[in-house]
Chains A and B, each alone.
Chain A
Amino acid sequence: MPIAVKTCSSLGEAAAALSTDRGARFLAGGTLVMRAVNEGDLAVSTIVRATDSAFSEIRSAGARIAIGAGATMAQILAHRELDFLHPVARLIGGPAVRSAATVGGNLFAPSPYGDFAAALLALDATVSLQGGYGAREAPLEECLASRERSGGLVASVSLNRPASPGAFRFRKVSRVRPKGISVLSIAAHLPLSGGRATGARVAYGAMAPTPIRAKAVERALEGRTLDTAGIASALAVAAEGTNPATDAIASAWYRREVLAVHLRRLLLNEPER
């Protein structure tokens, strides 16, 4: 069935178009929306696009960085100040996926996708949500938790640069390299004070219907050293709060079973194998 395509010059206009039409779907890079369209998904009757150039802009001022939700993985990789996010963007699909796949689309990509969203969660990112009349700021965690219901349009994502270059770590576990889909992914921001973790943030991709924070792990790391003894209690609660799916990539059992192994390697900063 042919689909109506609405091209909007501003995000406000796009937000208004989305809120008035239940069959309307926002299209960013389209790597997932066009799959649904090609399959003849009847839930999509209207595609809404935005041509606003600010939508894909990346701005950094001091430690604070604002990434337009329409920025692609390729743009992230071309931006030198976002070097800490390069290992994450590089692991999303192949080069032709990365030149289309956007940061905003990754926040809405169903599990096991959402590797970039997991990284942003660990960096305490906030999102700017665009309504028909204006924008409001919200924690990314809240946006992810309500993403099935809200239908909100994300204009940009803001975050602080990691405390030090080594403080941000990311691991993606997949069966095929370089472009396999995640068995799971783990992102962590681990600021140290006197050699001990303080205010650690740990997030998982593909371990629940949306990327989630591993809050039990974060609590168990507080004040600990990142060595075998220091991380033992965090590993013991690694799977707390997770609810992974069984899909073509891995079973829920397998995901839960290997989670602590990969968390240990990340926390001890062991080389990937």
Chain B
Amino acid sequence: MSKTPVQFRHNGVDVAVFVDGGANLLTAIREGVGDTAPKFGCGQGTCGVCTVLIDGEPHLSCITLAEAVAGRSVETADGLKNGPDLHPLQRAFMEHFAAQCGFCTPGMLMAAKALLDKNPAPSRAEVVEAIGGNICRCTGYEPIINAVLAAASAGPGRQRA
């Protein structure tokens, strides 16, 4: 069957990829664009490792129809860094040992970014709520929650330092 072209903005750059009918956005990003930051865990919407932002809102790319993002803006963890500088969330994850095997990290970072972009000073409960759809099998979540709170309290002064 013929492939369908889909055009969207990927981490600020316009891209066009060809997808199979019914392909999900995760496949389009990993295999079409070549950005392997979002991971494949369950393909069922339950683990959160494929979390990306679409027009600033968190979405699970494995259960998003690729064609549904035509003309929209998609952000992945690959777009967080600014040249050699890590994003404040990435730095906080490092400093607070919020990644062990690291498989959940790209999803956690994007779920956390979705929160901090809207709510720069969240409560602990709000952080828990924001990453409620993301599973981590290593850290026990506490270091991740602490990292997100630390990135928030570092404030905009640390943004793009």
Q: Do A96 and B133 touch (CB < 8 A)?
A: yes
Q: Do A95 and B4 touch (CB < 8 A)?
A: no
Task: Name the interface residues of B53-70: CB closer than 8 Å to any CB of A.
Answer: 54, 57-60, 62-65, 67-68
CA–CA, A264 and B114, complex, Å: 38
Q: A95-B111, A96-B48, A97-B60 are in contact. Are A38 and B43 (CB under 8 A)?
A: yes
In the assembled complex, which residues on chain A have CB atoms less than 8 Å from the CB atom of B156?
none
In the assembled complex, which residues on chain B have CB atoms less than 8 Å from the CB atom of A236?
none
In the assembled complex, which residues on chain A have CB atoms less than 8 Å from the CB atom of B1?
2, 4
A49 within 8 A of B: yes
A230 within 8 A of B: no
In the assembled complex, which residues on chain A have CB atoms less than 8 Å from the CB atom of B150?
none
CA–CA, A118 and B71, complex, Å: 35
Q: Do B132 and A179 touch (CB < 8 A)?
A: yes
B105 within 8 A of A: no
Q: Do A97 and B129 touch (CB < 8 A)?
A: no
Interface locus among B20-28, B29-37, B72-80, B96-104: B20-28
B51 within 8 A of A: yes
B143 within 8 A of A: no
B121 within 8 A of A: no
Contact of A95 among B21, B68, B129 (CB under 8 A): B129
Between A and B, how many residue pairs show CB distances below 8 Å? 89
CA–CA, A94 and B57, complex, Å: 12
CA–CA, A179 and B60, complex, Å: 15
A99 within 8 A of B: yes
CA–CA, A178 and B57, complex, Å: 19
Q: Do B60 and A178 touch (CB < 8 A)?
A: no
CA–CA, A178 and B134, complex, Å: 12
What residue in chain A is nearest B66 (Cβ atoms)? Answer: A5
Interface locus among A8-16, A27-35, A151-159: A27-35
B124 to chain A, nearest CB (A): 13
In the assembled complex, which residues on chain A have CB atoms less than 8 Å from the CB atom of B51?
96
CA–CA, A198 and B84, complex, Å: 66
A-B contact pairs, 12 of them (CB 8 A): A2-B20, A3-B22, A31-B63, A34-B63, A35-B45, A94-B132, A95-B111, A95-B132, A96-B111, A96-B133, A99-B57, A100-B60
Instruction: Write the residues of chain A forming the contact surface with B, with a CB cutoff of 8 angstroms.
Output: 2-5, 7, 27, 30-31, 34-35, 37-39, 44, 47, 49, 74, 93-97, 99-100, 178-179
